[in-house]
Amino acid sequence: MLKIKNLKAGIGDKEILKGISLEVKPGEIHAIMGPNGSGKSTLASVLAGRETYEVTGGSVYFNDQNLLDLAPEERAREGIFLAFQYPVEIPGVSSTVFLKTALNEVRKHKGLEPLDAVEFLKLLKEKMKFVEIDKALLSRSLNEGFSGGEKKRNEIFQMALLDPKLAILDETDSGLDIDALKLVANGVNKLRNKDNAFIVITHYQRLLEYIVPDFVHVLHQGKIVRSGTKELALELEEKGYDWLKDEVLADP
Ligand code: ADP
Ligand code: MG
Ligand code: MG
């Protein structure tokens, strides 16, 4: 599904991603862990097509399509969901209108008819139930300001509605409480199936108590320095990230 080969990217003269290779197959959940500043969010941003970062080498293929050639909206239409790509702050547009447009674009791309207002409302209700989202939350204007937990709820709801092939979740907010973490995990666990895949980026092992990944990768200074199964996450929990320093010293 996703094939990243020797991906290099940075800002100006600063190289941040220094050769990342990663393959994600349908049905898999990959966790990307690593200390602060290792490049996790940069990787997510590059996959989303954020223009802040310049790709300087390597390739990214998504279902045999060169992802790096596609604009961010096109990537979304192809079935990639990035939590932060659907902003929770757009002045003047209520989230339902916004989501209907986004969903119908995805449908159009799949060769499906757009949903009319009634059909969309029906789907909306179904998905609201699915993620146990509050109606009040949904009808609120996007620029009204959401708490961390509300943002997560909204994010998972958007993911459920758009039903992506590949979802990339960057759990940057270390301030999330256990309820919010469980919410994210529940969403992922309910939505996962043999045809879709998830990349869950997280600094803390905590989240992985609720989402059991098939693979865990450790990012350090722009490189994947270790890959393993869920046991690797437990090992990291125990050892922290300090051992990475020794590793870098041993292999400069
Ligand atoms: P992580 O998500 O693992 O904490 P980031 O991808 O946010 O790491 O950052 C990786 C490195 O790239 C850090 O050294 C950070 O300072 C740098 N970096 C990220 N974004 C920018 C930016 N917009 N401008 C300058 N440096 C950046
Ligand atoms: Mg960071
Ligand atoms: Mg980050």
Q: Is the CB of 12 under 6 A from ligand 1?
A: no
Ligand nearest to the CA of 34: 1
Provide the ipTM. 0.96
Residues 75-84 have a mean pLDDT of 84
Considering its fold, how many domains does the chain have in total? Answer: 1
**What type of residue is 137?**
L
Sheet holding 54-62, edge to edge: 14-24, 2-11, 54-62, 65-66
Question: Which tokens in the block code for residue 166?
Answer: 């590949």
Average pLDDT, the chain: 86
Tell me the per-residue pLDDT of 205-217, one tens digit each, with 9 for 90 and over: 788 888 999 999 9
Residues 125-142 have a mean pLDDT of 75
Contacts of 121 (CB under 8 A, 6+ apart): none
Distance of CA 238 to the CA centre of its chain: 25
**Contact status, residue 152 vs residue 120, Cβ threshold 8 Å:** no
Decide the pairing of beta strands 197-202 and 166-171.
parallel
Model confidence at 237, pLDDT cuts 50, 70, 90, reads: confident
Distance of CA 1 to the CA centre of its chain: 15
Ligand 1 mutation pick, 41, 54, 203, max ligand atoms within 8 A of CB: 41
Phi, psi of 27 (to 5 degrees): 90, -5
- Helix, strand, coil % in the chain, rounded to nearest 5: 45, 25, 30
Tell whether the model's pLDDT for residue 62 goes beyond 90.
yes
Question: Which tokens in the block code for residue 105?
Answer: 């674009």
CA of 22 to the centre of ligand 1 (A): 20
Tell me the per-residue pLDDT of 157-210, one tens digit each, with 9 for 90 and over: 888 988 999 999 987 656 677 887 888 888 899 999 999 999 999 877 788 888
**What type of residue is 82?**
L
Share of the chain above pLDDT 90, in %: 46
Predicted local confidence at residue 106, as pLDDT: 87
Model confidence at 250, pLDDT cuts 50, 70, 90, reads: low
Nearest CA to ligand 1 atom 16: 37
Tell whether the model's pLDDT for residue 136 goes beyond 60.
yes
Tell whether the model's pLDDT for residue 103 goes beyond 70.
yes
Question: Tell me, what CATH number does 69's domain have?
Answer: 3.40.50.300
Q: Is the CB of 37 under 6 A from ligand 1?
A: yes
Helix (H) or strand (E) holding 229: none
Give the domain extent around 110: 2-250
Cα torsion 42, 45, 50, 56: sign? positive
**Contact status, residue 237 vs residue 32, Cβ threshold 8 Å:** no
Q: What is the spatial distance between Cα 54 and Cα 225, in angstroms, rounded to a whole number?
A: 22
CA of 135 to the centre of ligand 2 (A): 33
Predicted local confidence at residue 93, as pLDDT: 58
Helix (H) or strand (E) holding 79: none
Q: Is the CB of 174 under 6 A from ligand 1?
A: no
Q: What is the spatial distance between Cα 39 and Cα 92, in angstroms, rounded to a whole number?
A: 33
Tell me the per-residue pLDDT of 7-55, one tens digit each, with 9 for 90 and over: 999 999 999 999 999 999 999 999 999 988 999 999 999 998 888 999 9
Q: What is the spatial distance between Cα 10 and Cα 16, in angstroms, rounded to a whole number?
A: 5
